[in-house]
Copies of this chain bind each other. A is one copy, B any other.
């Protein structure tokens, strides 16, 4: 058997502790699969007195993560988080010192991924990040190594478990976004500062990585439309249900008109489809792989077990000498992302207008939609409230985004329409 693979783990929180624990509990089995022992030789975390999931007594303890880059380890596992700071410094120095890197850090890779991939390749080192895209789901490996024969047309999915938990709970309990978020925070399902999750930023980071793997482009956060879920109301959820849909925060990347469209946005997904059936904190990814057909992957998107599973798979790959380029293609061949021409991507849309319940209002809205070449597939107005506010909901046929935006702008000028309309695209489930 080859010499042990020496591992340094930076960050011993939930995930780091889980990695340590699984490496210890399953040492024999993993050594068989890796064809060598996997040995944790160094760890770093601030508070040495804190109880950890795994035993760290045999590993060299460092208070500063930076020290791991100078350790005897063959692989540095970065689980500190943050798009720069000590995580970035550690990865750069580890690669410079000839160490392989495994990270779960989506924010960092979405920003610095292409450059770090190039640095790793130059040193013939692995830079692996299965845990960064969809937790335990092996979607990075699938896009990097499996679905490569025919080219990818689109990849889209539910990439943030916190948002999916909140939306699922809003459906179940009828409570508002704010109430559900508060409870999720109390239960530890949402961070004290939830902005990165509910604002769509975390999904954006993950989508940038998936798009890079799918299309051979450098990860790109600039050409991406990002919306969160804070504006989703019970009214929208109720209407979605009436039409047979559910609202999911999706990351969508697809080829449109010679470019790539990247969007993070709440979308209507038909209930009963694979994506439309994903509940609670689960993640799921749908891939349209051309002639190879559609694929669907579902699993847990976060937490100790799933994330440790992904990190350990990366470590075993490294132990076996599996060093393909980080994003599937050599870093110098990754092309800059060419964005799809703005507004050309077509979808059907759900539109909700709060209007005065007076004769002629539907005709006026329908007329302005028609002027902008937006045609309506179905319309719903529940309840009457003569002279007062009432909601009108419309589902459009497939329409370029620009046309819908133009119609809404026109409709907003009507004195019968109250406030900004709600506009949610329909997506394939």
| Residues of chain A having any CB pair with chain B under 8 Å | 18, 22, 26, 29-30, 32-33, 35, 130, 136-138, 141-142, 145-151, 216, 272-274, 277, 289-300, 303-306, 308-313, 316-317, 320-324, 328-330, 333
Other than A142-B142, A150-B308, A321-B321, give 18 A-B pairs with Cβ distance below 8 A. Answer: A26-B151, A29-B216, A33-B148, A33-B329, A35-B330, A136-B292, A141-B142, A146-B309, A289-B309, A291-B304, A291-B308, A292-B299, A292-B309, A293-B299, A293-B306, A295-B298, A297-B298, A320-B322
Question: Which listed residue (B22, B148, B273, B293) contacts A149, Cβ 8 A?
Answer: B22
CB pairs A–B below 8 angstroms (14 shown): A26-B149, A29-B216, A32-B216, A32-B329, A32-B330, A32-B333, A136-B289, A142-B142, A145-B317, A146-B313, A148-B309, A273-B277, A292-B305, A293-B305
A299 partner, pick from B150, B277, B295, B310, beta carbons under 8 A: B295
> How far is it, in angstroms, between the C-alpha of A299 and the C-alpha of B321 when the chains are bound?
29
Which B residues lie within 8 Å of A328 (CB)?
A: 33
Q: Of B26, B277, B292, which contacts A150 at CB under 8 A?
A: B26
Q: Are A299 and B298 in contact (CB under 8 A)?
A: no
- How far apart are A172's CB and chain B's nearest CB, in angstroms? 15
Q: A290-B305, A333-B32 are in contact. Are A310 and B151 (CB under 8 A)?
A: no
Residue from A33, A290, A330 whose CB has the most chain B CB atoms within 10 Å = A33
Are A274 and B274 in touch, CB under 8 angstroms?
yes
CB atoms of B291 and A305 under 8 A apart: yes
A296 to B, closest residue via Cβ: B298
Instruction: Tell me which residues across on chain B come within 8 A of A321, comparing CB atoms.
Output: 321-322
Please state if B293 and A148 are interface contacts (CB–CB under 8 Å): no
A145 to B277, Cβ gap below 8 A?
no
Q: Which residue in B274, B300, B312, B330 is a CB contact (below 8 Å) of A148?
A: B312
Closest Cβ neighbor of A311 among chain B residues = B149
| A33-B328, A136-B293, A299-B295 known; A308 vs B149 contact (CB < 8 Å) | yes
Q: Are B324 and A150 in contact (CB under 8 A)?
A: no
Q: How far does the alpha carbon of A309 sit from the alpha carbon of B290 in the complex, in Å?
A: 10
CB–CB A274/B295 < 8 A: no
Shortest beta-carbon distance from A125 to chain B in Å: 15
The residue of chain B having its C-beta at the shortest distance from the C-beta of A272 within the complex is B272
Q: Roughly how many angstroms separate A308 CA and B292 CA in the complex, as a whole number?
A: 8
Which B residue's beta carbon lies closest to that of A321?
B321
Of the candidates A146, A272, A328, the one having the most CB atoms from chain B within 10 angstroms of its own CB is A146
Min Cβ gap A131→B in Å is 11
Residues of B with C-beta under 8 A to A138:
138, 141-142, 145-147
Which of A274, A295, A328 is packed against the most chain B CB atoms within 10 Å?
Answer: A295
Q: Is the CB of B145 within 8 A of A316?
A: yes
- Closest approach, in angstroms, between the C-beta of A127 and any C-beta of chain B? 15
| Closest Cβ neighbor of A22 among chain B residues | B149
- CA–CA, A310 and B142, complex, Å: 11
A222 to B405, CA, bound (A): 63
A148–B292 CB distance below 8 A: no
CA distance A393 to B395 in the complex (A): 42
Contact A292 B296 (CB under 8 A): no
Q: How far is the CB of A332 from chain B (nearest CB, A)?
A: 10
Distance between Cα atoms of A240 and B323 in the complex (Å):
49
- Interface pair A296/B293, CB less than 8 Å apart: no
A18: chain B residues within 8 A (beta carbon): 291
| CB nearest neighbor in B for A329 | B32
Q: Which residues from B are CB-within-8-Å of A274?
A: 274, 277, 298
| Most B Cβ at <10 Å: residue of A291, A320, A321 | A291
Min C-beta distance of A338 to chain B, whole Å? 17
Provide the residues of chain B in CB contact with A330, threshold 8 Å.
32, 35
Docked complex Cα distance between A22 and B290 (Å)? 11
Task: Out of B30, B151, B310, name the residue touching A146 (CB < 8 Å).
Answer: B310
Inter-chain contacts of A293 with B (CB < 8 A): 136, 299-300, 303, 305-306
